Structure formats: structure tokens, C-alpha cells
């Protein structure tokens, strides 16, 4: 099922640099995202994984400038297609949103306005960014209407005549120039046209999620961020919706960041994976590398804990981030849980080490000066 996709061009469409986000609490700031940097290439799908609380959603909201108080961005740079998002004024940011960066939200169940029809919620985003410029005025429509009305023909059934009248009247009064465009969007995400006039509560969970996807790509944004877009759905629907997401992405040609915790599902849909732990990216690599050859000890634990039907294995990873997020340990953030940690890990924060093409890992073991230690450690694992 996991067919190989080409990784797209080399043009960077999203450049996150040194981004840091804190949450203010009475006991001091919680470091949610700690100086992370990564790039997203044009046409690429990047997966952002990690356990809950690792800062992956906060990263997404940071990129979108949607961090809710008491959270705030401490520093960093977010460039989309050469535009520095953090330097935009409020009105510039409003216009930039959804055309530059769009969001497929986490809780699609509650992400649609309950008192607006599906069509209105897609129309409003199109209209607020593209304006109503090309609309026919009421007078133009009236003249069309007047041209169309006619006397009933002799012998014509009354029902047919009245039906035509009604259609013309609807065109006059309920003019919906975006209808075709929205139907196209529906088709792209596999929604039936009949939901056009429905309210969110009349849709199933999967349908709502599809509406969110249709909405997310309606303006062909540069980057779409899908934040746990499938987590609330049941397993079957999850797969189908994820598949839809990839298809739409390929069809419309946007770049995509998928945030999730389901390594199995992500493996199916992303090109590259960034593994986050306690607000840091510990490893970032093409998806096949991560699964075939995970380098960071944390990634290894994560890959090891993917359940398999073929064998029953004990869970090696313990739950949760063990240190106080207000007061992280010195040096490597993972050293408290790392099976390979040694004194050096407490002294210095590991840099991003480029192991091979597009494969970076933040672990001292991959520093050339500790090569011996690495081979010993991995040998010990292999033997056990």
C-alpha cells in the first residue's frame, strides 16, 4: 500500500527557524516548543509526530499565528514563500491566512459553525479573500429574469411551466455564483452535492472532516496544516479520509504538514517525518529511512512500539515526558529516559547532525567523536 512518491521539488515553501513558544502559568513558563527549525519543500507532505504534549500541535498553531493565550511566541521566524509571517500587520495577516497557510483542524466535530449551512461556511472564506467583485448585480439578474419569463405555450403542462418559473425565480433571488466551484471541491473530497444546503449537525463525523478538507484547500493555499485531522474518527473512516487528504493534496498541488501520533497511518501518507520530543525535533528524515533505520534512541523506541499483528512484543516506551516542562534538564532533553545516556549528554545540547541526505538527528551518539560508543551501544541492543 505504501507506494513510493517522489519527494517533489527542492524549493522551500515554508521555513521555520528557531521557533520558541511558551505557555505562561503562575508557576513560570512552560516551554512548549523549544527553538525548532525545519523546512517544507514544495509539493511535499511532512509528518510531525510525537506523543501528546510534545508540542506538535503548538508548533502548528505557532506557524498559523493561532497560539491562544496564555501561550505566546517567544522568538523565531516563519517564512512562507519568502513572506515573514511574524512581521505581518493584523490586516496583512488576515489576508495572508488561508491563501498562504490553511488549517484542517483537530476537532472537525466542533470546528464548523453550528448555525451556518455548509455552503455559507465555504462561501464566506472565498468571499472574504477574493471579494464579491465578479458578482452580477441584482439589476443584471432581473433583466435576465425578465427576458426568460414567457407565456405558457398552448398545451404545455402547467406543472412544467410553473417549475420553470420557480427555477428562474430562485436564480433571481438566491443567486449562488460559487455553487459550481463548491461542487468541484465536494467532488475532490468525495462529498455528495446534497450536503450543500445542510447544517453541520446533519453530517457524520467523516463528512464534517471532509468539509474541513474541502474548506482548507478552497483557496489553493501554499501550505496546508492538518492537525490530527483524522484522530477523532474510527479506524476505517480514518484511513479513507487520510487517503482523501493525500489525493486532494496531489490534485491541487499544495504542500502539506500532517500532525499525528499514529505512526502507522502517517507512514502511508507522508514523504518525510519529523519526530518531536518535549518541544524539540529529535529526528527528521524521509519516511522510509525512519522506519527502516531509525537513528535517534527516541525514534527507535517509537518505531519499536508500533503494534504488529505478526508478533506480540512488550511495550518498551514508558508514557509521558518525565521532566518538568518549566525547567528542562541541561544538555539533551531526552537523556532522562534515554537508554544510552552518558555524562556528555548532560553537558551539551546535541546539535542537528546531518547523517545522510535529508536525514538529520539530534543525538550525541552520531557525533563523529563518539562513534565507538555508538557502535558499542547498538551492538548491545542487537545482542539483547
Give the residues lining the site for other proteins (CB under 8 A): 17-18, 24-26, 64, 66, 68-70, 72-77, 84, 86-87, 93-99, 102-103, 105-107, 109-116, 124-125, 128-129, 197-199, 201-202, 212, 215
Smallest gap from Cβ 212 to other proteins, in A, equals 8
Rounded to a whole number of angstroms, the CA Rg of the chain reads: 26
Smallest gap from Cβ 259 to other proteins, in A, equals 14
Interatomic CA distance for residues 24 and 211, integer angstroms = 34
Nearer to other proteins (CB atom), residue 330 or residue 354? 354
Nearer to other proteins (CB atom), residue 110 or residue 305? 110
Strand partners, 284: 274, 360
Would you call 258 helix, strand, or coil by DSSP?
A: strand
Which burial class, exposed, middle or buried, applies to 361 when counting CB atoms under 10 A from its CB (0-12, 13-18, 19+)?
A: buried
Nearer to other proteins (CB atom), residue 198 or residue 240? 198
Phi, psi of 186 (to 5 degrees): -55, -45
What does each C-alpha distance from 336 to 52, 275, 327 come to in angstroms? 18, 18, 13
Strand partners, 356: 359
Give yes or no for a contact between 21 and 73, defined as CB atoms under 8 angstroms apart.
yes
Interatomic CA distance for residues 141 and 138, integer angstroms = 5
Smallest gap from Cβ 210 to other proteins, in A, equals 15
Smallest gap from Cβ 97 to other proteins, in A, equals 3
What does each C-alpha distance from 157 to 103, 163, 293 come to in angstroms? 51, 10, 74
Smallest gap from Cβ 94 to other proteins, in A, equals 5
Smallest gap from Cβ 273 to other proteins, in A, equals 24
Q: Does 70 sit behind a cis peptide bond, omega within 30 degrees of 0 on the bond before it?
A: yes
Amino acid at each position: 500500500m505504501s507506494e513510493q512518491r517522489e519527494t517533489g521539488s527542492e524549493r522551500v515553501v515554508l521555513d521555520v527557524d528557531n521557533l520558541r513558544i511558551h505557555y505562561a502559568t503562575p508557576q513560570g513558563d512552560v516551554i512548549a516548543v523549544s527553538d525548532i527549525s525545519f523546512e517544507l519543500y514544495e509539493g511535499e507532505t511532512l509528518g510531525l509526530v510525537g506523543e501528546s504534549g510534545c508540542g506538535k500541535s503548538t508548533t502548528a498553531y505557532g506557524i498559523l499565528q493561532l497560539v491562544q493565550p496564555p501561550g505566546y511566541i517567544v522568538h523565531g521566524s516563519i517564512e512562507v514563500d519568502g513572506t515573514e509571517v511574524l512581521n505581518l500587520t493584523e490586516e496583512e495577516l488576515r489576508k495572508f491566512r488561508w491563501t498562504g497557510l490553511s488549517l484542517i483542524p483537530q476537532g472537525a466535530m466542533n470546528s464548523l459553525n453550528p448555525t451556518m449551512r455548509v455552503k455559507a461556511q465555504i462561501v464566506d472564506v472565498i468571499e472574504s479573500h477574493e471579494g464579491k467583485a465578479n458578482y452580477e448585480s441584482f439589476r443584471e439578474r432581473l433583466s435576465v429574469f425578465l427576458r426568460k419569463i414567457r407565456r405558457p405555450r398552448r398545451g404545455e403542462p402547467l406543472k412544467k411551466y410553473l417549475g420553470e418559473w420557480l427555477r428562474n425565480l430562485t436564480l433571481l433571488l438566491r443567486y449562488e455564483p460559487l455553487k459550481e466551484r463548491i461542487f468541484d471541491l465536494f467532488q475532490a473530497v468525495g462529498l455528495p452535492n446534497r450536503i450543500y444546503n445542510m447544517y453541520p449537525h446533519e453530517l457524520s463525523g467523516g463528512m464534517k472532516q471532509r468539509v474541513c478538507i474541502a474548506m482548507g484547500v478552497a483557496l489553493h493555499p501554499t501550505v496546508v496544516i492538518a492537525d490530527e485531522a483524522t484522530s477523532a474518527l474510527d479506524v476505517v473512516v480514518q484511513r479513507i479520509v487520510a487517503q482523501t487528504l493525500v489525493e486532494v493534496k496531489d490534485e491541487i498541488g499544495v504542500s502539506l504538514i500532517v500532525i499525528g501520533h499514529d505512526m502507522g497511518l502517517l507512514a502511508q501518507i507522508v514523504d518525510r517525518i519529523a519526530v518531536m520530543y518535549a518541544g524539540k525535533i529529535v529526528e527528521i528524515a524521509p519516511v522510509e529511512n525512519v522506519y527502516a533505520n531509525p537513528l535517534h534512541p527516541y525514534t527507535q523506541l517509537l518505531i519499536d512500539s508500533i503494534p504488529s499483528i505478526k508478533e506480540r512484543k512488550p511495550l518498551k516506551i514508558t508514557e509521558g515526558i518525565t521532566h518538568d516542562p518549566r525547567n528542562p534538564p541541561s544538555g539533551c532533553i531526552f537523556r532522562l529516559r534515554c537508554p544510552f545516556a552518558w555524562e556528555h549528554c548532560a553537558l551539551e545540547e546535541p546539535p542537528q547532525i546531518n547523517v545522510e541526505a535529508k536525514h538529520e538527528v539530534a543525538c550525541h551518539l552520531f557525533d563523529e567523536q563518539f562513534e565507538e560508543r555508538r557502535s558499542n551501544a547498538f551492538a548491545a541492543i542487537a545482542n539483547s
